[in-house]
Structure formats: structure tokens, C-alpha cells
Amino acid sequence: MSTLKIFAPFDQSLIKEIPLADSQQMQTAIDQAHELFLDPSQWLPKYKRVEILEKIAILMAERSEEIIRTSTQEGGKPWMDTEVEMTRAINGVKLAIENMGHLKGEEVAMGHTASSANRMAYTMREPIGVVASVSAFNHPINLIIHQTIPAIAVGSPVIIKPAPTTPLTCLLLVELFEAAGLPKGWCTAMPCNNDVAELLVTSPKVNFFSFIGSAKVGWYLRSKLAPGTRCALEHGGAAPVIIEPDADLSSMIPALVKGGFYHAGQVCVSVQRIYVHESITDQVIEEMESQVESLKSGDPLNKDTEVGPLILPKEVDRVHEWVEEAKANGATIICGGKKISDTFYAPTLLLNPSEDSKVSSQEIFGPVVCLYTYSNRDQAIAKANSLAYAFQASIFTKNIDIALDTVKKLNATAVMVNDHTAFRVDWMPFGGRDASGLGLGSIPHSMHDMTREKLMVIKSSIL
């Protein structure tokens, strides 16, 4: 039997070794989920799903410290931020319950032609079928909730493959789901290698595929889906921010520092590219440098740590290589720019890296933020829009007309006005466009995607 060793990103200590599912076990899980869906007599009625979800929310709250500790230890996100993630995850379950009553059909008018006389018609929404979810490491609690709870809420069986670096949180949550009364087979966690995961993705018994991870992997897996399998893909971005001369720096700088260095920049909508008007560049640099250098890096289990480790030592090496490349191509290192250890990279600010440097043209996914000066806002917007990635963006200004004009021109799924790019609540549309993804991943959007519409037409002579 193959096994997986899970190491703490902080010090690379071994946390646990767990078994990996093989192809036969994966096929059994797929078959079981498919059989549950094919037999409507086994479907969980809505009131029962509500009861289970309510119990899940209660158990998550009761066991929150255990879940936070597990997630922090295996994922490396600081305790203070994982606490926030835990609260969001519990609210996500409650949000699913609230939205169950909003999934409904409507009357389709009949009788206004002779051919449609003596008929009435209504649509209804049914569970889509088996959901396959492939998750990422950076939010081990909330991403699992987003990729399983909507399916459970609408009555679709779901199989979840956690990230290989953070499977323990997923296993703990699925154990908790079953403790809340969810019958086996309705949510199955399957830690496995990529070959076995591809079996899940390509199965014709899977009706919906949910993926969170890199664009390269996501688009590849989409190409392997069976005919008719729908999907939602959430990839990364290289979030741009535009700062106008009238921006309120006192509130803006802390927001940008948080948005850029939260979870060591390992967030798909982290602040990455900041375009600063040349008239205030020196002031922005001075204030950002001061706040970035004061960030406390350390053990994520310490409740005052603000920046934790990167998920793997090779990611530290990669980030450093990118920074060195930018430096060689003319970028100025304002602060950071060095390894703290094999697992930590210093929070880094770069000034005016070249447009073709990797830090400017690809998603950094590390604690590095780039600043660029501009004199013409339209030129800054053009540079912000120059990449294939388009997810979330920001504009800081007190001028409503400039804000609205910038929102209109930026290529992004969401544009924040006077807030950082990583802002999110779980009921808002959230997802990338262009190379950054397909579909939207909020709780309500996912619930809608995990159902499909059926039309019923009734013919009667008395109508």
C-alpha cells in the first residue's frame, strides 16, 4: 500500500503518514456515489440535509481549535488567519442552508399558441449527480467546505481529493460530516496520487468537476473530462492595484500589506502588482517598507505570527530565483529579497521590475509585492490588463468618476475600490476569467452549478 507523509512547512517535521487510495479504491468510491445518485429512494430529503448541515456547523464550532491546529500545522498559515478562515467556513455551512430555499424553478407560460393549449409547465432544479472536487493547499478548511458543502446541500454525492500537502484537515472535516449524520458515500475523502486522481476526473460517472489549483493543471484536467461533465476551475492571478495621487494612504497601506503578505502571498488574489502614481511613489514606498519590515515571521502556531512559511522548501528556492532574476533585470529591492531559512522567505518589496521578469508576468505565489511608477492612468490600466490572468483588482482614489472609469476598464472578475485585491466574502461572485479560471466559486454559485434544471409539462383537457 502506498502512503503519504505529511510534513509541517514550518520545520519540515513529520506530522503523520497516511495511506493513499489506489485505483480500485477510487473506482469503488465512484461506483458507490454513482449508485446513490441513480437511486432516488436513497436521496437525502431536503429537511434531512438541513438537519445534517446544522449539526455540521455546531460540530465545527465545538471542534474549532482542533481543526485550526491541524490546518495551521500542515498548511503553515498563521494561527490568527486560520481562526478567520475557520469562522468563514462555519458561516459557509450556514450560508448553504440559507440558500437551499433559493434553488427553485418557475412557471413556463403555455397556452398562447394553439400548439401549447391545454398545458401547464414548470421547471425544477435537481442534483446534478456525482461531484468530483480536487482541492488546493492554501485554505485547507474553507476550500474543502466550498467544494463539498454545496454538493451536500443540493443532494449531490461528492468525492474530494485534498492537496497532498494538506490532507489531514480534509479527513478531519469529512469525519465530522459523518458524525453529524451524513451517510457514508455522500462525501468521500480520497487522498491519492495524480494517476489515481485522473481516474476520478475522466470517469463518465462524474457529472461535475470542481478544481482549485494551477492553470496548467486545471486546463489539462478539463481536457480529460468525459463528454457532458460540467466543470468549474479556479486558478491563480497576478492581482493589480492602481493608486491615484488622492488615495488615502493611512488606510490603504495597511490594507495592501495585509493583502500582499497574508499567508505569505500564497493566495490566488494576493496583491502582486501595484501601479503607483509618480507624484506619491516615494511616500508609498516609505510607508510600505516600514510596515512590511515590521511583519513578524515565525511559527504559525504562535498566535502573534503574521507571516508563516511557504508550503515547500522548493517554493522558497523558486521565489528567490524570481527575485534574483528581477534584480538582474534592473529591479530595486526595497526590502527583503532573501531567504530567512529553507522554509521562510523574507517579505519583499520590489520597485520597477521589468515587464518580462517572472515577478511581473507570472503569479508569484510568495511574499513578494512589486511596485511600478506611472504618470498616465490609462497606461497603468493597460499594463494591469496585459497578462492572460484576470481575477481581482483594485483602484485607490477619492474621485468617484476615476474609480468608476477604472472599474470599467480593468479586466477582472471583481474590482475593489479602496480595498485590497484579496477581499472576499463567501456569497459574492468569486472566480477568475480568461486563463484564471471558469465559473464562479461562491457558495450560492456552486450550489446552482451542482444542480440542473428539469422541465415538467402537464397536458390536460381541463386546462
Q: Which of 268, 287, 306, 315 is catalytic?
A: 268
Q: Give the integer Cα–Cα distance in Å for 246 and 264.
A: 29
- Which helix (H) or strand (E) element contains residue 121? strand 119-127
Residue 231 among the catalytic residues: no
Helix/strand/coil percentages in the chain, nearest 5: 40, 20, 35
- Please name the amino acid found at residue 115: S
- Please name the amino acid found at residue 37: F
User: Nearest 5 degrees, angle CA 79-CA 255-CA 367?
Assistant: 60
- Which helix (H) or strand (E) element contains residue 52? helix 46-62
Q: Give the integer Cα–Cα distance in Å for 107 and 123.
A: 6
**DSSP string across 413-446:** SEEEESS-TT---TTS----EETTEES--SHHHH
Distance of CA 91 to the CA centre of its chain: 16
End-to-end C-alpha distance for the chain, whole angstroms: 64
Q: Which residues contact 271 (CB under 8 A, 6 or more apart)?
A: 239, 241, 256, 259, 260, 369, 394, 420, 421, 422
Strand partners, 415: 393
Q: Give the integer Cα–Cα distance in Å for 232 and 133.
A: 10
Q: Per the structure block, which three cell numbers stand in for 448?
A: 446552482
Q: Which of 74, 85, 234, 306 is catalytic?
A: 234
Residue 325 among the catalytic residues: no
Distance of CA 121 to the CA centre of its chain: 38
Contact assessment for residue 257 and residue 288, using Cβ atoms and an 8 Å cutoff? yes
Q: Which residues contact 47 (CB under 8 A, 6 or more apart)?
A: none
Catalytic residues, by residue number, are 234, 268
